[in-house]
Amino acid sequence: MPKLRVSAFGLSIDGFGAGAHQSLENPLGVGGESLHHWFFPTRTFQKMHGSGDGTTGVDEDFAAQSMANLGAWILGRNMFGPIRGPWSDENWKGWWGEEPPYHVPVFVLTHHPRPPLVMKGGTTFYFVTEGIHEALKRAQEAAGGKDIRVGGGAATIRQYLRAGLIEEMHLAISPVILGSGESLLEGIDLLALGFQCTRHVTTPSAMHVVLSNTK
């Protein structure tokens, strides 16, 4: 059965999924890039960005699994870009250049309408103003029976968690302390939601934790 899942989500020791003060210069917030040092060298990441071969091993296994069997993504607006409020223009097309790494439909949660944005490589961004359930409905229709990945940010994942809709989460906990930023699990009772730790593996760069919803 297709899943709504969170995969390869970088987390600091103190629970932040991004640093504070996101900007054009710091897309992941101050210090947020350090949460993904386990991911950047992997073969999966290097192939996505056209840089040649990369590392193998446990980190690569989790990286590859995070991209497998995906038919659609859901993102919060902050994951699409640093612009806030109404779209002043439509020149901003995301952080990734002309060919984003998704290659499937991506549904972006926003309060401000914008026409779909067709990019190279099979990615189309759809901007959804009707909330998380409508975004999920449209993603399910587009996914063709494959999984849907909630890419973040932290606030978007919390919304889907509170609604009891996420079935699996893979968190990559890096040996990093951020001190402030976007907390992933603030106000979330994972046990009450039905989550259990079903796998955990440690590498020099991260502790990979898989949480499955048993309800």
Domain that holds residue 176: 4-83+99-213
H/E segment holding residue 61: helix 58-67
DSSP 42: B
What CATH number is associated with residue 76? 3.40.430.10
pLDDT score of 155? 95
88 occurs within a structural domain: no
DSSP 67: H
107 occurs within a structural domain: yes
pTM value is: 0.95
92 occurs within a structural domain: no
104 occurs within a structural domain: yes
Q: How many folded domains does the chain comprise?
A: 1
Angle at 136 between CA 212 and CA 169, to 5 degrees: 20
39 occurs within a structural domain: yes
Burial 92-116 (b: 16+ CB within 10 A, else e): eebeeeeebebbbbbbbbbeeebee
Identify the bridge partners of residue 169 per DSSP, sorted by sequence position. 6, 211
27 occurs within a structural domain: yes
pLDDT score of 50? 67
Residue 115 CB-half CA count within 13 A = 5
Q: What is the pLDDT along the chain (215 residues), one digit of tens a residue?
A: 789 999 999 999 999 999 999 888 888 899 999 999 999 999 999 988 767 789 999 999 999 999 999 999 999 999 998 888 898 878 888 888 899 999 999 999 999 999 999 999 999 999 999 999 999 999 999 999 999 999 999 999 999 999 999 999 999 999 999 999 999 999 999 999 999 999 999 999 999 999 999 98
Q: How many CB atoms lie within 10 A of CB 148?
A: 25
Contact 141, 2 (CB under 8 A): no
pLDDT score of 106? 98
90 occurs within a structural domain: no
115 occurs within a structural domain: yes
